[in-house]
Amino acid sequence: MIEQKIHTDAYFYWFDLTEQGLKTSEAINKTAEQFGFKKRALWKWYTEFNWKNRAIEKRKKIVEQVDKKQNKTLAENRLNYLKIMHKVLDEYIKQGDFSQIGSAKDLETVIKTCLVLQEAPSEVTKSDSVNVNVDAESLFDEDLMQKILDEETNDNDDVDLTDEFKIDEDNLN
């Protein structure tokens, strides 16, 4: 038997009924009634056109699409939250703005939140020494890190060390 439009329409109607919670046999009965065919004909279509496996595959695709959309939304939310946290940290570092970070505990919370949002380790473990599992690059954006490094390099370039290492020839003897 070749599947025709009436078969496909009946399948989609039956599928929707099963998605609403009807059992297969109830959905077959209602579909037969809706399309004006005998139940026996619908059971033949059900078997012949593999409605059960098609429904399983369709449900898998629906779940995959929902998962994909949820994952995208979660990633977008994490990115937005991370931007907010980085803004707070940037203001704290650049301008010494402590209004949003009132204490060391608040700062720790902000940093840990950034790390968690980036799925990086966020805990400090202690044994004989303190091991901090922090990837410094994950705390700040790349531009800010480069700016800090440039400022440190420029600060060192401006220092004149010639007087500091000048040899006092009179006191060599």
SS3 letters for 63-121?
HHHHHHHHHHHHHHHHHHHHHHHHHHHHHHHHHCCCCCCCCHHHHHHHHHHHHHHCCCC
Percent of the chain with pLDDT over 70: 65
Q: In this predicted structure, what is the pLDDT of residue 18?
A: 95
Three-state DSSP class for 1? coil
Is 131 in contact with 125 (CB distance < 8 Å)? yes
pTM across the whole model: 0.47
Query: By C-alpha distance, which of 23, 3, 21 is closest to 11?
Result: 3
Residues 135-147 as b or e (16 or more Cβ within 10 Å = b): eeebbbbeeeeee
DSSP class of residue 169?
Answer: G
Whole-number Å distance between alpha carbons of 111 and 96: 16
Q: In this predicted structure, what is the pLDDT of residue 70?
A: 86
Q: In this predicted structure, what is the pLDDT of residue 24?
A: 94
Q: In this predicted structure, what is the pLDDT of residue 12?
A: 95
Q: In this predicted structure, what is the pLDDT of residue 28?
A: 96
Q: In this predicted structure, what is the pLDDT of residue 159?
A: 47
Three-state DSSP class for 27? helix
Q: In this predicted structure, what is the pLDDT of residue 162?
A: 47
CA distances from 100 to 72, 109, 114, 141 (A): 29, 12, 15, 19
Whole-number Å distance between alpha carbons of 151 and 136: 17
Q: In this predicted structure, what is the pLDDT of residue 164?
A: 44
Q: Could you report the average pLDDT of every consecutive run of 10 residues in the chain (173 residues)? A: 93 95 95 96 95 93 89 82 79 71 73 75 57 52 63 54 48 50
Three-state DSSP class for 131? strand
Q: In this predicted structure, what is the pLDDT of residue 165?
A: 43
Q: In this predicted structure, what is the pLDDT of residue 112?
A: 79
Whole-number Å distance between alpha carbons of 94 and 12: 60
Q: In this predicted structure, what is the pLDDT of residue 143?
A: 63
Q: In this predicted structure, what is the pLDDT of residue 147?
A: 65
